[in-house]
Amino acid sequence: MATLSSLFNRSSFGIRCKTCLNLAISRIKLLRNKREAQLKHMHKEISQFLQTGQEAIARIRVEHVIREQNILAAYDILELFCEFILARIPILDTQRECPSELQEAVASIIFASPRCSDLPELMQIRNLFTTKYRKEFVSSASELRPDSGVNRILIEKLSVRVAPSDLRLKVLKDIAHEHNVDWDSSSTETEFRKKHEDLLEGLNSSNSPATAVDSLTNVTTNTDRHLVSLSAQNQKIHQFEPQMSLTNTNSALKTANSSVQSIANEQVKTGREQECHGANPVAICSSDVLERARAAIAAAERASAAAQAAAELVNFKRVAQVSSDEHNK
């Protein structure tokens, strides 16, 4: 009974895999014809942009052309792999593990299935391979592990990275030559050679994470200076407390306290703004920035506590002196 069940499952896998592969090959041919027609139309549009001097639009559209060319190249590779596996379905049926000569084809189809949404048959083939070869084999191909065996050219063609400037310039020249457009590429070459400012990292040192850290460092330094100034004010209060009223003392201490708090808050806010505008998304210095900000806020709180303690001390001495004078009288 187990033998009959095993034969039935093998036969079922072979039939379903063969059906999906045939459907995938047919769909690839249809999509290739459609994309080739779209590609010709895009070439014609870009040639018109180059002829009318709209090079900025052409430089943008050429990226779509390169993307379409890469997809067509990926279709060619996938079609060959599907035909290769289709011819060896009996071998897959008879072996539990994936044969070494078929590993590249199987792994490449598994890798491409979620990246080619217009080929749903590849996802069905992937599910069949998951059932037969377990999830570990499929995960190895999907995650591009060193022993996955995925075709390197297919990985490159399905990549979402922006095409290099040399390739974009070459495609623009080919399109101009194809449609006999007399195009001067000097301005486009100059534009491609420019090193544009990175919007995330920035080239301005004033917007760098190091500047934000330095700014937050100044918070602690300035706060400490105000603490020293506050101590000097407290000493003056103790020296001249017989001539100083209680209202003036409290007012002076509140002013010193508010000045420390306002300076700390302003500089912490400035540091955070600089961090937001110039911080690296990798956040190499983010922990240092937060620590400096916390230190600055803690220093401000210490200044506030020192001011309150000084006020209470002056009040206590003032009350004690008044009580002593009344007792002597």
- Average pLDDT in the 119-144 region? 93
pLDDT for res 301: 75
Residue-level pLDDT at 284: 43
Q: Which residues of 63-73 are buried (b: 16+ CB within 10 A; e: fewer)?
A: eebbebbbbee
Residue 161, class by beta-carbon neighbours within 10 Å (0-12 exposed, 13-18 middle, 19+ buried)?
exposed
Other CB atoms within a 10 A radius of the CB of residue 279 amount to: 21
Stronger pLDDT, 318 or 6, i.e. the higher one: 318
Angle at 31 between CA 29 and CA 37, to 5 degrees: 105
Banded pLDDT at 307 (limits 50, 70, 90): confident
Tell me what the mean pLDDT of segment 43-47 comes to.
Answer: 94
Q: Count how many Cα atoms sit within 13 Å of the Cα of residue 180 in the half-sphere of its side chain.
A: 0
Residues in the chain: 329
Distance CA 212, CA 208 (A): 7
275 or 138: whose pLDDT is higher? 138
160: exposed, middle or buried (C-beta count within 10 Å: 0-12, 13-18, 19+)?
exposed
Dihedral pair phi/psi, residue 197, rounded to 5°: -70, 130
Burial group, residue 79, by CB count within 10 angstroms (0-12, 13-18, 19+): middle
What is the dihedral sign for C-alpha 303, 309, 315, 317? Answer: negative
Structure tokens at 177: 């030559």
pLDDT tens for 169-178 read 999 999 999 9
CB-CB contact of 27 with 121 (8 Å): yes
Amino acid identity for residue 184 in this structure: D
User: Is the pTM for the entire model greater than 0.75?
Assistant: no
Per DSSP, the residues of 164-189 read PHHHHHHHHHHHHHHTT-----HHHH
Helix (H) or strand (E) holding 42: helix 2-51
* Statement: residue 86 has pLDDT above 90: yes
State the chain's mean pLDDT as an integer: 76
What pLDDT score was predicted for residue 276?
47
d(CA 187, CA 25): 43
Q: What is the pLDDT of residue 21?
A: 96
Q: What is the dihedral of CA 286, 289, 290, 293, to 10 degrees?
A: -160
